[in-house]
C-alpha cells in the first residue's frame, strides 16, 4: 500500500501541472485582461477608475500620484501612452513571456506563495481565508445533511422497492432535483425572510453584528439561525443523486447469491443487510464522495451566496473572473484541484478499509 500511495502522490504532480497549464493557456486568449480593464476604467469605458484601482481598499500601483498621472495622460491624449502601458504591463507581470510567467507562478505555488491580488491591497491567501468560513459552513453542512438523509433513505427504498413508500419518495426526490436551488431560495426569502410574509430569518451574513457579545450557546443558535434558509435551499437537490445511487446499489447486492445463502443460514434481514450487503453496496457510494466533497463548496454556492448576502469563495471567484484578477483565479483553482486529488486518494484508502479484498498495490495506478 505504501508503494501505491507514493505513486499516487507522484502522479499528482503532472496532473496539477497539466490542469494549471491548460487553464493558463486558455487565459492567454481571453479578451479583456487586467491591463485592458484598467485602461477601460481610466478612459471612462469601464467602472470607476478609483473603484478599480482602490477596490477593497487596495492601491493598484501603490501610489495615488501614479493613478492621477495615468488619468491625466489617458484623458488628455488621443492615443495610448506607450510608457504608461509598459508600466501597467510590468505591474501585472505581463512584461515577461507567457512561459516565464507560468513557470514563476508554479514555482511560487509549490511553496504556497500565491502573491497579492491585482486589485486589492492584500494577499490572495488572506482573501481566501477571509471568505473560507462561509463556503466551509455551506459545503460541510450540506455534505453531512445530504449523506445523513441519502444513505438511510436509499437503503429504505431498496428494502421497500416497488412499495407505496418507494413510489412517493421517488416523486418527491425527482421534483426536488428538478427545482433549481436558487428559485427555492427566492421562495424562502419571500416567505420567511421579510419578503412579503414572515420575517423569521436574517437575510445577510453568516452571523449577527453582535456575535462577539453573545454567550457560547447563543453563538451556536445565531450561527444556525443565519444558515437555516441557505442550507434548506442547497439541500433540496443535494441528496437526490446519492439516494438513488444508494438504492440501486443495495438492490443489485440484495439479488446476489451470497445474500440468499446468508438468509438460508438463518440470519435476520438486519444482519444480512448491514453485516453483508452494506459493505459491498457502499463501495460505489464512496466512489462518488470526492466529487461530492468538492462540489459541495461550489454547486449553486454563487447564486445562494448572492441571494443571502453571504460573502464566500463562490462570490469571490466570480468577481475575480469578471475583474480578471488572475492571482485569485489561479490560486483557488490550484488549491481546490490539489484538494480534489488528495480527497480522491483518501477515498481509495477508505475502499481498502471497508473491503480488505481490494488491494490497489497489485494494480497499476
pTM: 0.70
> What's the pLDDT band for 45 if we cut at 50, 70, 90?
low
pLDDT tens figures, 244-289: 888 988 898 888 888 888 888 888 888 888 888 887 787 777 766 6
Nearest to 316 by CA among 334, 330, 329: 329
User: Of all residues in the chain, what percent carry a pLDDT higher than 70?
Assistant: 77
End-to-end CA distance of the chain: 12
Q: Which residues of 96-106 are buried (b: 16+ CB within 10 A; e: fewer)?
A: eeeeebbeebb
User: Of all residues in the chain, what percent carry a pLDDT higher than 90?
Assistant: 5
- Residues written for the chain: 365
The three-class DSSP label of residue 95 is: coil
Q: Dump the DSSP string for 196-236.
A: SS-B-S--SSSS-TTGGGS-HHHHHHHHHHHHHHHHHHHHH
Mean pLDDT of 25-31: 78
What's the pLDDT score for residue 17?
92
What's the pLDDT score for residue 59?
43
* Least confident interval from 86-90, 129-133, 158-162, 299-303: 299-303
- The residues with which 116 forms a beta bridge, in sequence order, are 123
Q: What is the largest CA-CA distance in the chain?
A: 92
> What's the pLDDT band for 15 if we cut at 50, 70, 90?
very high
> Residue 116: what are its φ and ψ, rounded to 5°?
-115, 155
Mean pLDDT of 328-356: 80
Whether the pLDDT of residue 79 is over 80: the answer is no
If one compares 72 and 343, the residue with the highest pLDDT of the two is 343
Cα dihedral 195, 201, 202, 205, rounded to 10, equals -120
Mean pLDDT of 168-190: 85
CA 329 to chain centre: 13
Distances from the Cα of 39 to the Cαs of 75, 85, 201, 287, 325, in angstroms?
Answer: 11, 8, 43, 48, 15
Whether the pLDDT of residue 47 is over 80: the answer is no
- The residues with which 193 forms a beta bridge, in sequence order, are 199
Amino acid at each position: 500500500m505504501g508503494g501505491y500511495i507514493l505513486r499516487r502522490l507522484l502522479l499528482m504532480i503532472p496532473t496539477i501541472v497539466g490542469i494549471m497549464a491548460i487553464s493558463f493557456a486558455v487565459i492567454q486568449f481571453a479578451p479583456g485582461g487586467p491591463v485592458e480593464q484598467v485602461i477601460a476604467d481610466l478612459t471612462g469605458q469601464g467602472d470607476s477608475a478609483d473603484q478599480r484601482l482602490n477596490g477593497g481598499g487596495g492601491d493598484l500601483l501603490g501610489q495615488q500620484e501614479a493613478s492621477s498621472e495615468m488619468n491625466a495622460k489617458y484623458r488628455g491624449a488621443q492615443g495610448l501612452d506607450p510608457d504608461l502601458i509598459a508600466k501597467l504591463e510590468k505591474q501585472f507581470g505581463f512584461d515577461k513571456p507567457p512561459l516565464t510567467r507560468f513557470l514563476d507562478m508554479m514555482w511560487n505555488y509549490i511553496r504556497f506563495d500565491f502573491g497579492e491580488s491585482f486589485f486589492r491591497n492584500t494577499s490572495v491567501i488572506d482573501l481566501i481565508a477571509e471568505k473560507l468560513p462561509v463556503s466551509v459552513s455551506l459545503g460541510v453542512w450540506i455534505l453531512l445533511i445530504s449523506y445523513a438523509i441519502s444513505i438511510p433513505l436509499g437503503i429504505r427504498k431498496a428494502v421497500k422497492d416497488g412499495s407505496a413508500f418507494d413510489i412517493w419518495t421517488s416523486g418527491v426526490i425527482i421534483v426536488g432535483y428538478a427545482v433549481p436551488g436558487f428559485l427555492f431560495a427566492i421562495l424562502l426569502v419571500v416567505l420567511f425572510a421579510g419578503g412579503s410574509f414572515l420575517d423569521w430569518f436574517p437575510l445577510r451574513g453568516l452571523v449577527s453584528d453582535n456575535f462577539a457579545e453573545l454567550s457560547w450557546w447563543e453563538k451556536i443558535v445565531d450561527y444556525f439561525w443565519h444558515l437555516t434558509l441557505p442550507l434548506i435551499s442547497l439541500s433540496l437537490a443535494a441528496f437526490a443523486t446519492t439516494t438513488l445511487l444508494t438504492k440501486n446499489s443495495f438492490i443489485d447486492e440484495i439479488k446476489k447469491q451470497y445474500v440468499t445463502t446468508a438468509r438460508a443460514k438463518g440470519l435476520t434481514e438486519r444482519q444480512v443487510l448491514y453485516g453483508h450487503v452494506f459493505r459491498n453496496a457502499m463501495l460505489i457510494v464512496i466512489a462518488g464522495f470526492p466529487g461530492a466533497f468538492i462540489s459541495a463548496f461550489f454547486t449553486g454556492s454563487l447564486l445562494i451566496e448572492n441571494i443571502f448576502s453571504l460573502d464566500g469563495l463562490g462570490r469571490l471567484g466570480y468577481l475575480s473572473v469578471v475583474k480578471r484578477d488572475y492571482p485569485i483565479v489561479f490560486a483557488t483553482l490550484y488549491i481546490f484541484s490539489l484538494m480534489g486529488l488528495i480527497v480522491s486518494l483518501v477515498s481509495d484508502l477508505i475502499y481498502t478499509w471497508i473491503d480488505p479484498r481490494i488491494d490497489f498495490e497489485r494494480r497499476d495506478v
